[in-house]
Structure 1
């Protein structure tokens, strides 16, 4: 799925477009006991309650593709009779009216989801009448040929509200507030089947994780049985290892900067595309070559890539570089640079020591104090016309 397809499904979570037929829930305590279960026709819920659920469902389909929302495919064994895909299809086709299947589904999550506090499992069934689209992209609601029938699951932490005081209008006084168990935004969730090329794809599932580094591998294997992708954090670490292994001792600031600049240029060129920019071994090799990595270092690139990422792996550009910031770190100093002005920092040998040199053409602030303004004020108070001294910043590395 791409971001346009995700947005198309998200648009259903409003009163006007609602395609949800049924909602089921299971409240689980910190000891993994089922404390409450519910089954309702979604349209029978009170309006205010329905709006709260819409917020949960929208959040389950939000974030960055490849980081918070992950496309997963079912391996062949999961699609065999008795596999996880067959179970999910049965659950969907039951329209959540089979109590035995629901109990089995809850048990799978409770068995494999690692969470030490209370949580609420929400599961909905929906049927979306997919509108056709004209050649210019306009939706034609009277030209629909397909119905997308799906499940959306959200797993939400439930925490006790914070203690505090509140105003009692009946008694006209301030009193201790009653603490309630509050259902928070989802931590994990999934959409099945996937909505690929604006149609149902029973071979895929869209998985949501609030924290990119916490995928809950055991739950993915038990509940979905889908092929686990490389997490965003692992992709970034893999990319960093690839740079270090390829450049070796010859790696310097300028070369690493060039690689990130090339990546950012590609991201900028690709930003209007619905699909995230994925880079395979060939793509990554071209980036290194374009960034000026010496030919002798590139001789070992293919081997390094296969050892660190895998022979057929691909990395999402948005996961391995950050277009909004560029950090330079030493044990004692962190320098944050606007990615568009990485040229302001260069390396230079000063008094026999390797240093970072930062060009200063405008002004410097130290803890909010404009250094040049301060110097100008001092010059003026003595009646002189001395210009502020030029300042050079050298950071040893």
Structure 2
């Protein structure tokens, strides 16, 4: 089960003034499922309005209804081997999305395994959250307890030319459990169970 407070701890920081997002990358796919171009940029180089718009997209995933539209999936040890989806996500997290070849691999896997019949975008965000220590009474101490690097992926229908709408599915990797990174789980979002299960199958690749 996902603790709602863990998700709120992440989303409270998803404002232009407080965000620690480092990078955003993405691609566009046409109605036939064909690649239509990609981008990869330092998040800090976005304009204030672009930051606000993209933070809203990213926030949709962890802010979704906990344990209803956003669910935790375990990644079994046999699915954490070389060449697995888990290994790819770990590599993308570690390189902070700066490896375009790895990004293209992720796009290809999603495009090949997700059935969407209208134009859509795949947006991926990288964040480094410096988790502050908290006392037993939950008062913030301010000292760093752990660095939590993570990815948010949002799959969004296009509502205009290269204009993503609200995400219909996506994920947060690794999961954020008890205020700590959880490499054995992934939080998957979907507006329907079918969309969650569709993404859930990717973690077994």
Partner Cα distance (2:138, 2:200) in 1: 35
Distance between the aligned counterparts of 1:93 and 1:192, measured in 2? 12
Asked if the contact 1:77–1:83 (Cα under 8 Å) also holds between the matched residues in 2, the reply is: no
TM-score (normalizing by structure 2):
0.93
- Deviation of 1:181 after TM superposition, in Å, equals 5.8
Say which one has the larger Rg.
1
Post-superposition offset of 1:44: 0.4
Matched, 1:205 2:205: no
For residue 40 of structure 2, give the secondary structure of its aligned residue in structure 1: strand
CA drift at 1:117: 0.2
> Which sections of structure 1, spanning at least 5 residues, go unmatched?
161-179, 227-397
1:88 aligns with 2:89: yes
- Alignment length (residue pairs): 204
Q: How does 1:220-369 map to 2 (within 5 A)?
A: 220-222=200-202, 224-225=203-204
Of the three residues 189, 194, 201, the one matched with 2:175 is 194
CA distance in 2, matches of 1:215, 1:40: 28
Matches within 5 A, 1:46-125: 46-125=47-126
Do structure 1's residue 217 and structure 2's residue 190 form an aligned pair?
A: no
Determine the C-alpha separation between the residues in 2 that align with 1:32 and 1:99: 20
1:7-60 deviations in whole A, cap 9, x for unaligned?
011112112221111100101111112212111100100100110111111112
1:136 — aligned with what?
Answer: 137
Change (3 A) 1:135 1:105: same
User: SS in structure 2 opposite 1:102?
Assistant: helix
Report deviation, 1:225: 2.3
Aligned to 2:165: 184
Q: Provide the rounded CA distance (Å) in 2 between the counterparts of 1:181 and 1:40.
A: 16
Residue 4 in 1 paired to residue 17 in 2? no
Q: Is the 8 A contact 1:133 1:140 kept in 2?
A: yes
Q: Secondary structure at the match of 2:63?
A: coil
1:79-108 Cα shifts (integer Å, max 9, x gaps):
223322122111111111111111100000
RCO comparison, higher one (Cα < 8 Å, 6+) = 2
1:360-381 deviations in Å (ceiling 9; x for gaps): xxxxxxxxxxxxxxxxxxxxxx
> 1:140 aligns to what SS in structure 2?
strand
SS of 1:108's equivalent in the other structure is helix
| Pair 1:39-2:40 in alignment | yes
Q: Which has the higher strand share?
A: 2
* Paired residue secondary structure (2:91): helix
Q: List aligned pairs for 1:373-392, cutoff 5 A.
A: none
Q: Which runs of 5+ in 2 are unaligned?
A: none
For residues 320-379 of structure 1, the C-alpha deviation after alignment (integer angstroms, 9 at most, x for no partner) is: xxxxxxxxxxxxxxxxxxxxxxxxxxxxxxxxxxxxxxxxxxxxxxxxxxxxxxxxxxxx
Contact 1:113 1:218 in 2 (8 A): yes
CA distance in 2, matches of 1:182, 1:42: 17
> Cα distance 1:216–1:114, how it changes in 2: closer, same or farther (>3 A)?
farther
1:145 is matched with which residue? Answer: 145
**Structure 1 position 220, deviation (Å):** 2.4
**Post-superposition offset of 1:216:** 5.0
Tell me how far apart the structure 2 counterparts of residues 150 and 88 of structure 1 sit (CA, whole Å): 9
Cα root mean square deviation, aligned: 1.6
Contact 2:58 2:125 (C-alpha < 8 Å) held by counterparts: no
Task: Mark the CA change 1:218 to 1:209 in structure 2 (over 3 Å): closer, same or farther.
Answer: closer
Partners of 2:79 and 2:204 within 8 A in 1: yes
TM norm structure 1: 0.49
Task: Check whether the contact 1:158–1:183 (CA below 8 A) recurs between aligned residues.
Answer: yes
Q: Is the 8 A contact 1:114 1:216 kept in 2?
A: no
- Secondary structure of the corresponding residue to residue 71 of structure 1: strand
